[in-house]
Amino acid sequence: MEGILQTRQLSKSFGALAAVKDVSLSIAAGSLHSVIGPNGAGKTTLFNLLTGTFPPTSGEIIFDKKNITGTPANRIAHLGLARSFQRTNVFPAFSLLDNVWVAAFATGRSWNGLLFKKANQYPEAAERARAALSDVGLLGKANQLAREISHGEQRQLELAIALAAAPRVLLLDEPAAGLSPEETRRMVALVRALKGRYTIVLIEHKMDIIMSVSDRISVMHFGSLIAEGAPEEIQRNAEVRRAYLGGIAA
């Protein structure tokens, strides 16, 4: 089956360092596909390539049968690909609602009146913003400022900003980074709730999360894909154990 998002021999080098090497991935529509690997394996670089932060050195990215290689970051969201960031990357002085509104408006149906209409006169963007906040359970704090909420809530907001773009594919870069066990549980429940509604590509370090939510797992090591399969297969794979799981799964 052809995936909604594919890469073909995707590579990115920074000088002599090959951060991503010949990665060919296929993400099936509606699935939750995880990318795992030790620190420095090239996972975030892969995300940066997929979202146009920088162009690949070689290879192609195919989204919905269209070649989107080299599309700049600000166009990617309009195509229906939205990402969250590993390090919280919100608008600190904005209310939570304005944080998601900015993302909802960007991909909204109309920018008519961009200069003269009031920002609160766009019901579609406002509706989408509230829905995104509600999805992550932050609607009750809609008027608080982003810099005043807890780290865990900021991670939820991070996710809400991605959701507000009404994407078809959601790229989540370690949504549980730096969360307490309790907050992690909440985040996992959240990701699980989003599963099925969106095609999700997930980067994560915490193995228990990966194994419990993923439909498919790709393993990266030193920029290359070394294995791909269902969670059980990955757990059994000897090469993966050597490279990554180490003592954890032994």
Partner 1 sequence: MKYQNVLLLLAVVALPFIVRPVIASEIWIFAIFGLGLNLLLGYTGLLSFGQSTFFGSAAYVAGWLLKHYGINVFFALGIGVGVGALSALLVGYLCVQRSGLYFIMLTFALNQLFYFVAYQWTTVTGGEDGMHGVPRPALLGIDFKDPMTYYVFISLLFLASLWVMRRIVESPLGRILQAIRENEVRAEAVGYNVPRFKLLAFVIGGAFSGLAGVLYGMLFGIVPLEAISFVFSGNVVFATLIGGSGSLYGPIIGSFVFIWLSESVSVMWARWPLLLGVAFVIVVLFLRGGVVEAWNRFWAWKASSKPAS
* Binding map of partner 1 across residues 21-60, x = CB under 8 A, - = no contact: ------------------------------x---------
Residues of this chain, 200-219, that bind partner 1 according to CB under 8 A: none
Candidates 20, 35, 90, 129; binder of partner 1 (CB under 8 A) is 90
* Binding map of partner 1 across residues 6-25, x = CB under 8 A, - = no contact: --------------------
Nearer to partner 1, 14 or 111 (CB): 111
Amino acid at 182: E
Residues of this chain, 131-190, that bind partner 1 according to CB under 8 A: 161, 164-165
Candidates 103, 169, 190, 240; binder of partner 1 (CB under 8 A) is 103
Nearer to partner 1, 164 or 225 (CB): 164
Q: How many residues bind partner 1 (CB under 8 A)?
A: 36
- The pairs formed by 143-149 with CB atoms below 8 angstroms and a separation of 24 or more are 143/95, 143/96, 143/97, 144/95, 144/96, 145/92, 145/93, 145/94, 145/95, 145/96, 146/90, 146/91, 146/92, 146/93, 146/94, 146/95, 146/96, 146/99, 147/92, 147/93, 149/96
Report how far apart, in Å, the C-alpha atoms of 37 and of each of 5, 82, 86, 206, 246 are.
20, 22, 15, 11, 12
Candidates 1, 15, 74, 247; binder of partner 1 (CB under 8 A) is 74
